[in-house]
């Protein structure tokens, strides 16, 4: 079975910017580094489901 990977990082970044949340502020609230959040948004790394849910809650 082929694994299907969807890059959601750019959409997360777009929504964060729409809400006028700075990357550093969001990273602090999530308890991660700004670099790690940047890598998620840039599609360079994946995050856990738990972190993804926390991101979604912030961006609702």
pLDDT along the chain (60 residues), means of 10: 75 97 98 98 94 96
Query: Which of 38, 18, 17 is CA-nearest to residue 27?
Result: 38
User: In this structure, how many other beta carbons lie within 10 angstroms of the beta carbon of residue 39?
Assistant: 16
How far is residue 56 from each of residues 1, 3, 39, measured CA to CA in Å? 28, 23, 17
Contact 59, 31 (CB under 8 A): no
pLDDT at residue 1, rounded to an integer: 56
Q: What are phi and psi of 59, to 5 degrees?
A: -90, 5
pLDDT at residue 25, rounded to an integer: 98
């Amino acid at each position: 079975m082929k694994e299907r990977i969807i890059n959601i990082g750019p959409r997360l970044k777009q929504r964060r910017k729409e809400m006028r949340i700075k990357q550093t502020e969001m990273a602090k609230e999530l308890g991660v580094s700004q670099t790690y959040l940047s890598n998620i948004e840039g599609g360079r790394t994946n995050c856990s489901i738990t972190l993804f849910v926390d991101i979604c809650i912030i961006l609702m």
